[in-house]
């Protein structure tokens, strides 16, 4: 599905559908394709918004989780959104958490899937190796329970990013920032309804991470999906979307 990316000043984003805002925050190698099933399902009931995070556009000092969260703050302010259902995968979940901790007033619910913020297995100190296609292919496959999910198109996308020296430096800066920015002591401040959807076979943010989030965030519920890795909304979209839909429907209007 090809989507029209809107551009306003420094913000690039997708916005489709009508209703309460469902905002999706992608991860380090995220693209709109990661959310395609989710977008198609929820555009019928919600205004689905995907801001493209400026992973490679911030100066190196601000290439961090807090730098990305600031961009999201400014985007929400710019658009005047309110009553937002905020959803983040991987690094996007971490950015969502930082935003909610600083600006809870406009957020109606929070959904995390494979989120960093407590613990994650980084891709390895040498990651990403430039110019080593097989290495990138194997690392991309580790994101999923079913390695066949790492299609040539997806691997090519990641490989293209890792061929650029500046982008590699920024990926490493973001990965290190995510590891340093541990939110364990702050999560009990989050009072909004929170949904945790986790792959039982996630090796990047393993199941114990989800259990820790569940323990630390007061108003949270946790759903595990079997035979599923780090990106449930890609690997098992129908089950993921049903869990999310039931959660959103259960919230007070």
**Helix (H, G, I), strand (E, B), or coil: what is residue 250?**
helix
Answer left, alpha or beta for residue 83, where phi above 0 means left and psi between -120 and 50 means alpha: left
DSSP-derived 3-state class of residue 47 = strand
**SS percent in the chain: helix, strand, coil, step 5:** 45, 15, 40
Neighbouring C-beta atoms of residue 9, cutoff 10 Å = 8
Provide DSSP, 115-166: --SS----S-TTPSPTT-HHHHHHHHHTTSSSGGGS-HHHHHHHHHHHT-HH
Would you state the pLDDT for residue 28? 86
Give the per-residue pLDDT at 53: 95
55 class by beta-carbon count within 10 Å (0-12 exposed, 13-18 middle, 19+ buried) = buried
Which residues, 6+ apart, have CB-to-CB distance to 25 below 8 Å? Answer: 50, 51, 53, 72, 86, 87, 88, 89, 92, 93, 95, 96
237: burial class by Cβ within 10 Å (0-12, 13-18, 19+)? middle
Give me the domains of the chain, ranges plus CATH numbers.
6-121+182-250 (3.40.50.1820)
Using N-to-C axis directions, what is the helix angle for 152-162 and 133-141, rounded to 10°?
120
Give CA 110 to chain center in angstroms.
Answer: 12
Distances in whole angstroms, Cα of residue 175 to Cα of each of 8, 85, 145, 208, 226: 28, 25, 22, 20, 27
Distance between CA atoms of 115 and 210, rounded to whole angstroms?
8
- Over the chain (253 residues), the average pLDDT of each successive run of 10 is 88 97 92 90 97 93 95 97 97 97 97 92 53 85 92 90 88 90 95 98 95 97 97 97 98 89
Q: In terms of DSSP bridges, do strands 84-89 and 21-25 run parallel, antiparallel, or are they unpaired?
A: parallel
> Which residue, among 12, 26, 30, has the nearest Cα to 79 in the 3D structure?
12
Alpha carbon distance 212, 226 (integer Å): 18
């Amino acid at each position: 599905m090809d989507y029209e990316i809107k551009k306003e000043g420094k913000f690039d984003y997708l916005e489709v559908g009508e209703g309460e805002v469902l905002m999706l925050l992608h991860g380090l190698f995220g693209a709109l394709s990661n959310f395609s099933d989710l977008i198609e399902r929820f555009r019928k009931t919600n205004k689905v918004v995907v801001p493209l995070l400026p992973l490679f556009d911030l100066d190196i000092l601000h290439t961090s989780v807090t730098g990305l969260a600031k961009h999201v703050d400014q985007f929400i302010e710019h658009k005047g959104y309110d009553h937002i259902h905020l959803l983040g995968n991987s690094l996007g979940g971490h950015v969502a958490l930082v935003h909610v901790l600083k600006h809870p007033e406009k957020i109606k619910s929070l959904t995390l899937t494979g989120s960093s913020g407590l613990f994650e297995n980084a891709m390895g100190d040498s990651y990403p190796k430039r110019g080593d296609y097989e290495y990138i292919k194997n690392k991309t496959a580790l994101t999923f329970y079913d390695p066949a999910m790492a299609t040539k198109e997806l691997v090519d996308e990641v490989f293209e990013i890792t061929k650029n020296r500046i982008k590699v430096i920024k990926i490493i800066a973001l990965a290190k920032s995510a590891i340093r920015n541990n939110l364990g002591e702050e999560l009990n401040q989050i009072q909004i309804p929170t949904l945790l959807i986790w792959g039982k076979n996630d090796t990047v943010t393993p199941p114990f991470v989800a259990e820790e989030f569940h323990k630390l965030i007061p108003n949270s519920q946790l759903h595990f999906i079997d035979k599923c890795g780090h990106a449930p909304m890609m690997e098992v979209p129908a089950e993921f979307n049903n869990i999310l839909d039931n959660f959103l429907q259960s919230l007070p209007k």
